[in-house]
Structure 1
Amino acid sequence: MPGALPLGDPAPADGVLPASTAEGAGGRDFGVYLHVPFCRVRCGYCDFNTYTATELRGVSQSEYAGHAVREVRFAREALERSGVPAREVSTVFFGGGTPTLLPPDDLGAMLGAVRDAWGIAADAEVTTEANPDSVDADDLRRLADAGFTRVSFGMQSAVPSVLATLERTHDPERIPLVVRWAREAGLQVSLDLIYGTPGETLDNWARSLDAALACEPDHVSAYALIVEPGTKLARQIHSGVVAEPDDDLEADMYELAEARLGSAGYGWYEVSNWATDDAHRSRHNLAYWLGHDWWGVGPGAHSHVGGVRWWNVKHPAAYAQRVLAGESPAAGRETLDAETRRVERVLLLTRIREGLSTAELTDAGRRSVAGLIADGLVDAKAALAGSVVLTLRGRLLADAVVRRLLAEE
């Protein structure tokens, strides 16, 4: 049997987008995501597009920043050729992988390319992810000097046994140190946590929450562990080496997170994210949920401009070959029709604190709101004002809420 057909439509080598992408662009924010696909080790739960040194097959990490810079320049030209008006970049996010495996000068060069291509707004949010053992005080100072404003540390847990199950290699006692260094450099700080790891208890989770709060970060993300097919963790669970995550325990952990974080002054603004105030919300991630425009740089990175979505080739070698040839690294793309865009808005906007306007729903969807209120899943006061806003119970059952909002009679 021949190989599966590629997803989406072919992407043109010149990167030119349909004329429709220029419509209303001035009213949408523009962000840039830069993917750095390198990790020292591959964590057993991770299915991101990342590579360790032994998997690179001749691709050099030292050359990567130059390849990313080439794509940034290509992006500017492609948007100009598409008639999309130039906009200053409002958010920049370096993700991975572990971006800080690259030297600060390389990350600074990539950020400088974004600045040269479009300009970066004076109040822009510029974030890099970092593992706690991948930076020191000097690295963080140099990143701040290059224009970074925010760092998101992959803390995951404060419990060594939980970190070992996740195959995270950092020492949890290093977290307060790197947070202090980031503060001294003038950077905002976010801590990323994972709950529901096999073998993790509610007391373990409470310990991690308390340790995170003791660092007084500006922002906390807490994600339920998802066992992705094809990962080492999925194989371990299938073979009985580790237990499958417990949905009821995960719900208890989420409620504990809301209680501890709320008591400490953190407000939820998206199902898995809390901040000390609105100024410290992740503006880059909010742009995804609000359907704004972004260009994703790097192997496997996804982009979205004006209802057109595309994704790059995954392997760094194939990516380098494309950008060195002056061609688009996109592997495929799709133009979202009006109904698909509406459905995606329902999926995304129900996750945020401001909620979803009931005007986005079909008649059947609007009729379902009363039942969702009766079941304690949607806030009644917000619904009277014309918005679907999840209650705490609704956040636990967000997927079920969305299914009911989208169901057609």
Structure 2
Amino acid sequence: MPSTLPLGDPAPSDGLLPATTALGAGERDFGVYLHVPFCRVRCGYCDFNTYTATELRGVSQSDYAGHAIREVAFAAEALQRSGVPARPASTVFFGGGTPTLLPPGDLGAMLSAVRDAWGFAPGAEVTTEANPDSVDAEDLQRLADAGFTRVSFGMQSAVPHVLETLERTHDPARVPLVVGWAREAGLDVSLDLIYGTPGESLADWQRSLETALACEPDHLSAYALIVEPGTKLARQIRSGQVAEPDDDLEADMYELADRTLAAAGYDWYEVSNWSRGAEHRSRHNLSYWLGHDWWGVGPGAHSHVGGVRWWNVKHPAAYAQRVLAGESPAAGRETLDDETRRVERVLLLTRIREGIRTAELDPEGRRAVAGLIADGLVDAKAALAGSVELTLRGRLLADAVVRRLLPED
């Protein structure tokens, strides 16, 4: 697979965490991420840890729910034995791959295991990703009945030639249908879009935005296409089969999205995310940006608890072997020192609407704020109130803003 795991320290087979992970745990939300690593086809731009049927090598997709349920039980015991106080899950997120390639009964059983292990906080957000062609009305109703509250559809584009370049297999005409079925089931709806695909024009992007808005979703994500090393798309660009994404055109597309979504009543709350009011923000993703705790279940899934981060073995066969033996599926882990945690906090909080408090920056970072205001990258009024918040131009240049807030020694 193109994606790789980071280097790190060995992870203990019993899954026990350092005593420091319990400190302040009661002040942090706890979420659960469940990775379902299956796809019908591999999209050329994707470097996620996913597998088609021909790549599973000796493990069965039908056995996967049982393996994930074993890790959930292992996780609950490991946290308890590590002295981390039990907290109900505030958010649960099924990602992939395509989680809805599993039957609704399997997803419901995995969700029940999470509920049995930790319970759910009042109003818990429970999301699954889905492709428009991977669910029907009955599936969505069964998911809602099982306790799911939200579905995120991978729409990506409304334009056939863009979907073809991305190697997405769904008919764009199906998107309004699945959104309607989700609504009938009582689920909140998010649509994921990608812009900057080779050959996509500004008019194509406008069409995708308008089509998405016509569905009246609660939430929209719009991500610039990133050409990841090792992917089919990267090889196609290198060989000249397709053009490289145009940075200037992507900036124009982002500005068009922000104008169009704002006019339709959607507020940005993270550089790539908009919602119809704060109540429809993705609370699970916000927990990542805010540095809360989560346990990641499944092959290649990442976890974070109290400044300790770890990641599971990648292949479903290796994963199954570990969990069936009652061992941690973690391939490695790292304990973040105070400086690393501070740097990551600046990186992540800068991306959200509320920004980061100026007092959290080091002296050089605080001195940089005046220049960022002068360059139109940071909101002057917010800065007077003690917060670093990005302007539209700042969102376009968010990485540059962070570099100035975190100057190298």
**CA separation in 2, counterparts of 1:408 and 1:175?**
46
Q: Per-residue displacement from partner, 1:44-95 (whole Å, max 9, x unpaired)?
A: 0000000000111121000000000000000000000100000000000000
Give 1:40's aligned residue.
40
The reply to whether residue 344 of structure 1 matches residue 344 of structure 2 is: yes
Give 2:170's aligned residue.
170
C-alpha contact 2:92 2:127 (8 A) present in aligned 1: yes
**CA separation in 2, counterparts of 1:321 and 1:72?**
15
**CA separation in 2, counterparts of 1:6 and 1:241?**
31
Instruction: Report the AA paired with residue 232 of structure 1.
Output: K
Instruction: Report the 3-state secondary structure (helix = DSSP H, G, I; strand = E; otherwise coil) of the residue aligned with 2:153.
Output: strand
Query: Shift in Å at residue 359 of structure 1?
Result: 1.4
Instruction: Report the 3-state secondary structure (helix = DSSP H, G, I; strand = E; otherwise coil) of the residue aligned with 2:209.
Output: helix
C-alpha contact 1:300 1:311 (8 A) present in aligned 2: yes
Give 2:354's aligned residue.
354
**CA separation in 2, counterparts of 1:368 and 1:30?**
34
C-alpha contact 1:33 1:94 (8 A) present in aligned 2: yes
* Structure 2 runs not aligned, ≥5 long: none
Q: Per-residue displacement from partner, 1:274-307 (whole Å, max 9, x unpaired)?
A: 0000000000000000000000000000000000
Give 2:77's aligned residue.
77
Query: Shift in Å at residue 400 of structure 1?
Result: 0.3
Give 2:381's aligned residue.
381
**CA separation in 1, counterparts of 2:91 and 2:205?**
31
**CA separation in 1, counterparts of 2:5 and 2:245?**
34
Query: Shift in Å at residue 367 of structure 1?
Result: 0.3
C-alpha contact 2:302 2:312 (8 A) present in aligned 1: yes
Q: Per-residue displacement from partner, 1:382-409 (whole Å, max 9, x unpaired)?
A: 1111110000000000000000000056
**CA separation in 2, counterparts of 1:243 and 1:184?**
41
- Report the TM-score when normalising by structure 1: 0.98
Query: Shift in Å at residue 123 of structure 1?
Result: 0.3
**CA separation in 2, counterparts of 1:291 and 1:314?**
24
Question: For this pair of structures, how many residues does the alignment match?
Answer: 406
Stretch moving more, 212-221 or 353-362: 353-362
Overall identity of the aligned pairs, in %: 86
- Report the TM-score when normalising by structure 2: 0.98
Stretch moving more, 357-366 or 41-50: 357-366
Stretch moving more, 212-221 or 115-124: 115-124
Q: Per-residue displacement from partner, 1:134-179 (whole Å, max 9, x unpaired)?
A: 0000000000000000000000000000000000000000000000
Give 1:227's aligned residue.
227
C-alpha contact 1:364 1:408 (8 A) present in aligned 2: no
C-alpha contact 1:16 1:82 (8 A) present in aligned 2: yes
**CA separation in 2, counterparts of 1:404 and 1:320?**
44
Instruction: Report the 3-state secondary structure (helix = DSSP H, G, I; strand = E; otherwise coil) of the residue aligned with 2:124.
Output: strand
The reply to whether residue 290 of structure 1 matches residue 290 of structure 2 is: yes
C-alpha contact 1:365 1:408 (8 A) present in aligned 2: no
Instruction: Report the AA paired with residue 331 of structure 2.
Output: A
Instruction: Report the AA paired with residue 401 of structure 2.
Output: V
Instruction: Report the 3-state secondary structure (helix = DSSP H, G, I; strand = E; otherwise coil) of the residue aligned with 2:243.
Output: coil
**CA separation in 2, counterparts of 1:24 and 1:122?**
21
* Structure 1 runs not aligned, ≥5 long: none
RMSD: 1.0
Q: 1:92-107, aligned counterparts within 5 Å?
A: 92-107=92-107
Instruction: Report the AA paired with residue 156 of structure 1.
Output: Q
**CA separation in 2, counterparts of 1:402 and 1:6?**
22
Instruction: Report the 3-state secondary structure (helix = DSSP H, G, I; strand = E; otherwise coil) of the residue aligned with 1:172.
Output: coil
**CA separation in 1, counterparts of 2:340 and 2:408?**
15
Instruction: Report the AA paired with residue 59 of structure 1.
Output: V
Give 1:367's aligned residue.
367
Query: Shift in Å at residue 6 of structure 1?
Result: 7.2
**CA separation in 2, counterparts of 1:359 and 1:227?**
36
Give 2:153's aligned residue.
153
Query: Shift in Å at residue 5 of structure 1?
Result: 11
Query: Shift in Å at residue 122 of structure 1?
Result: 2.6
Instruction: Report the AA paired with residue 170 of structure 2.
Output: H
Give 1:91's aligned residue.
91
Q: Per-residue displacement from partner, 1:101-122 (whole Å, max 9, x unpaired)?
A: 0000000000000000000123
Q: Which runs of 4+ in 1 moved over 6 A?
A: none
C-alpha contact 2:361 2:405 (8 A) present in aligned 1: yes
Instruction: Report the 3-state secondary structure (helix = DSSP H, G, I; strand = E; otherwise coil) of the residue aligned with 2:208.
Output: helix
C-alpha contact 2:5 2:311 (8 A) present in aligned 1: no
Instruction: Report the AA paired with residue 180 of structure 1.
Output: G
Instruction: Report the 3-state secondary structure (helix = DSSP H, G, I; strand = E; otherwise coil) of the residue aligned with 1:274.
Output: strand
Instruction: Report the AA paired with residue 249 of structure 2.
Output: L
